[in-house]
Amino acid sequence: MREIILWILAFISLFVSLFWLQVMYIKKKESSNLNYFPNVSIIIPAHNEEKSIAKTIKSVLNLNYPKDKLKIIVVNDQSTDKTKEIAERFKGVLVVYNKHKGIGKASALNRGLKLVSTELFSVLDADSEVSKDSLKKLVILFKEKNTAAAISRIMIKNNKNTLTNIQRIEYILATFIRKLMSKIDTLHITPGVLSVYRTSVVKKLNGFDENNITEDLEIAMKLRYHNYSVKMNDEAVTYTNVPFTLDKFWHQRIRWFRGFIYNNLKYKKMFMSKKHGLMGRLQAPMNAITFITILLTFFLISYEIISLLYKFISKLILLKQDIIYTFRIPPIKELLLSVNINYIFPLTVAFLLSLYLLHLAHKTSKEKWLFNPALLIYFSIYPIVRLIHWVTAMYKETTKAKRKW
């Protein structure tokens, strides 16, 4: 059974990797004419962001975009610090108060959306910053009438320890995959770091879901469900802060994964749906494969742990072996001889494919490899950590645990 599961996982990895490699070589003509400046409102939801809100607003004011076509709305989401006072120092910035409701920032976004009358609007987290040309490189994507949202390439600006270095690797890989999804029109997420939306479409669909813990995923899937496109321009660069402590990181990932599960189930009608194109016939099934892969991996590891415990207890009780001998570390020669080639081959295939995809992700993003402990942890310990995150998220969703932002 163990061998079968490993081979299934290796086959899935091989299939998915080869598919995305094929997509990478699809050439798609993109407009290079940046002389397109529709009116844009930038909504900045802020809750106790006094340490970062000034830098965020300054980066928006420094955008290489006509100032008369730009409107900045800061939504003070019941901050108890000096967020409101700092934001009000900037001339031309509209600061409004939001009486928070719901369980996330969607309420603040809807409050800002009520004040938007421009053709496009953008969402920018209050701990993030934008590069000068990012906005004009995103709005050009709206020349295609079916485009309802566009996203940027997100880079980490607070890369200060091993945990943030691991997340840097994740963000580089995420950019690569999202770019490929955009090529074949299966992109279905709009992060809170300068994602741009077509105002009329989002208002028609009643805005953001205020009872959703991942409103950025939900709004994108809602757009896809109604057959609108989400595009990406990886030349539009933005910067954000990521969790640098384990507790904040744990909370964020559980929220993300619960949101992934909840929203994929919410829009399950897209699964194998012809009218949703590749989003229905390809991406939705691949999302389902993600669940299956995680469950198979969890059952495999659980089986191995139970087997080891059973053998250990058997040696102690049935064979009456000494506990010190039971815990002995076998010599290297014994370990090598006990290796099962049926395990090593699929694991090696999965590892090499992951390594190659990460290489391509660095290359296309023009990012440098950082050879530090984070890289080793990413390929060794971190997959187990991610599995724990996923299993915890599945458990919380299954048991209907209270959703928290």
pLDDT digits (tens, 9 = 90+) for 214-245: 999 999 999 999 999 999 999 999 999 999 99
pLDDT at position 338 is: 54
Cα dihedral 403→215→60→69 (10° resolution): -150
* Residue ranges covered by each domain of the chain: 31-266
Partners of 129 in the β-ladder: 239
Burial code of 238-273, b = ≥16 C-beta within 10 A, e = fewer?
bbbbbbbeeeebeeebbbbbbbbbbbbebbeebbee
Average pLDDT over residues 54-66: 97
Higher pLDDT, 353 or 208: 208
pTM: 0.89
Q: Looking at the predicted structure, is the pLDDT value of residue 335 above 70?
A: no
Which stretch of DSSP H or E encloses residue 44? strand 40-46
pLDDT digits (tens, 9 = 90+) for 243-287: 999 999 999 999 999 999 999 999 999 999 999 999 999 999 999
Query: Phi/psi at 226 (nearest 5 deg)?
Result: -95, 20
Cα dihedral 375→260→247→377 (10° resolution): -10
**DSSP assignment string, 383-402:** HHHHHHHHHHHHHHHHTTPP
Contact 124, 44 (CB under 8 A): yes
Q: Looking at the predicted structure, is the pLDDT value of residue 329 above 70?
A: no
What gap in Å lies between CA 240 and CA 238, rounded to an integer?
7
Rg for the chain (alpha carbons), in Å? 24
Give 343's pLDDT tier (boundaries 50, 70, 90).
low
The H-assigned helical ranges of 158-245 are 162-183, 199-204, 215-225
Query: Both tokens of residue 329?
Result: 């570390």
Contact 171, 154 (CB under 8 A): yes
Contact 242, 167 (CB under 8 A): yes
Average pLDDT over residues 172-190: 95
**DSSP assignment string, 306-326:** HHHHHHHHHHHHTS---HHHH
- Which fold would CATH assign to domain 31-266? Spore Coat Polysaccharide Biosynthesis Protein SpsA; Chain A (3.90.550)
Q: Taking CA 351 as the corner, what is the angle to CA 288 and CA 254, rounded to the nearest 5 degrees?
A: 45
Query: Phi/psi at 195 (nearest 5 deg)?
Result: -90, 135
Report which of 368, 370, 361 is spatially closest to residue 17, judged by C-alpha positions: 361
- DSSP at 282: I
Report which of 74, 19, 389, 45 is spatially closest to residue 216, judged by C-alpha positions: 45
Contact 186, 180 (CB under 8 A): no
What gap in Å lies between CA 63 and CA 47, rounded to an integer?
23
Contact 89, 12 (CB under 8 A): no
pLDDT digits (tens, 9 = 90+) for 277-317: 999 999 999 999 888 888 888 887 787 788 777 777 776 67
